[in-house]
Amino acid sequence: MTESYFYKLVDQVIGKLHKDEVLLCNANGEESDFIRFNSGKIRQPGSVSQSFLVLHLILNRKHSIDHIPLTGNREDDLSRSLESLDTMRDYLRFLPDDPYLLYSKEPRSGSLTGQNNLPSQKEILSDILNAGRVGDFIGIYAGGRIYRGFANSFQQKNWFENFTFNIDWSYYYTKDKAVKSSYTGSIWDNDLFRQKVKAASDQLAILARPAHTIKPGTYNVYLSPSAVIEFISMACWGGFGLKCEKTKQTPFLRMIEGTETLSPLISIKENTKEGCAPHFQVDGFIKPDSVSLIEKGKLKDFLVSPRSAKEYGKQTNGANSGEIPESVDMAGGTLTDKDILLKLDTGIYMNNAWYLNYSDRQAARITGMTRFATFWVEDGEIKAPLNVMRFDETLFRMFGSNLADLTVNRDYIIDPSTYKARCTESMRLPGALVRDFHFTL
């Protein structure tokens, strides 16, 4: 689907509205290449081209929604859309009023289209297949064009598209031992990818050493950005939304009440301008370039969806319905890469965390497990792979009283999820050096 195709289609649908009806139209789709690898070889190449139209028909306070897969044939897509319009009219007769319905009535149109800097499949495959010669290389590449569109019967029109890639892979050694890595972005840098491959292959060699087991207790830990992302993702689950704050379901409740705090090193914002998510949301509200969520350890602003804005009498800032950040940007610290092991001294180097969940949500206490390449470090030197351990720790200790430093360098990580479609959520995160991190068994 193109921008002009979307606008012409919705103009025709809007032209069929009855008096007092309001229509919101959302388009989403992709043109993506997928390549699955196993044992360093191509196992399943393919591509996906899909587009959908989501229609919201509103009459007074009643609201009906329908999803339509598009074919690219204008007559067929128009026929499906008009049929959907009639179906939603029938549904509206039986629906109750929606007390928290809120949508944009002030047209703010605009288009944001990124450049296609993706290399050819041949170039990408050459680099990936070379990486596959190192060990048992398992992974998936996904890349291509993603687009979103919005239009309504108030003549507002918005378009967003970008071109990104994501290669998510592991070097498998044996049993529960593997090195997991990823490379994401919009411009493929051969040298950077090879650096990541070299770092992963170096860690793979360490996995051949006899594994080390530790007793439950507290240890100094370095969390790589790939581990930090798991904890920040948990914080984003209800941590920054107005609805969860008002209903006291936020894991930062103690912070709001003034009994806990985070380190002044922690600053987190929703950075839409530098992320890869759309700059508008499904109800037509435009997102600001950034929203400061935590500033120097203190809660600053909340993400406010249109429904929460209506319910609590606030102004929306274009948040999605779940009020979950889509373009997380976490500030770095002063720790350089070359000093990570030196500053860690003796403790645990954690590349990944797994199976996280809240063990006490209101205390921001999270439990989970180490996985893949986690190492035991002594005197600033990696000695052995670490056998799997369970941890139980609070965000207030990790990123508060026990946070020693954050790395200067930050990783930009696009969510590799492809359930139904490729994801546009991203995080830019540093690594974290944490003292007295609690392992339970």
Residue 363: pLDDT over 90: yes
For 337-354, write each residue's pLDDT tens digit: 999 999 999 999 999 999
Indicate the pTM of the whole model. Answer: 0.95
Q: What pLDDT score was predicted for residue 124?
A: 87
**Cβ within 8 Å of residue 333, ≥6 positions away:** 265, 405, 406, 407, 408, 430
Is pLDDT at 123 greater than 90 in this prediction? no
Q: What is the mean pLDDT of residues 204-217?
A: 96
Confidence of residue 384 (pLDDT cuts 50, 70, 90): very high
Does the pLDDT at position 437 exceed 90?
Answer: yes
Domains, the chain: 3-206 (3.30.2290.10), 217-439 (no CATH)
User: Average pLDDT over the chain, rounded to whole?
Assistant: 96
pLDDT confidence of residue 248: 95
pLDDT for the residue 119: 83
Q: Is the dihedral of CA 248, 252, 254, 256 positive or negative?
A: negative
Query: 303 to each of 237, 239, 281, 285, 290, how far by Cα in Å?
Result: 12, 10, 13, 13, 11
CA distances from 437 to 83, 217, 427 (A): 58, 8, 23
Strand pairing report for 381-385 and 390-394: unpaired
Region 308-316 average pLDDT: 97
Give the Cβ contact number of residue 200 at 10 Å. Answer: 23
Beta carbons within 8 Å of 219's beta carbon, 6+ residues apart: 347, 348, 436, 437, 439
Assess contact for 231 and 223: CB atoms under 8 A.
yes
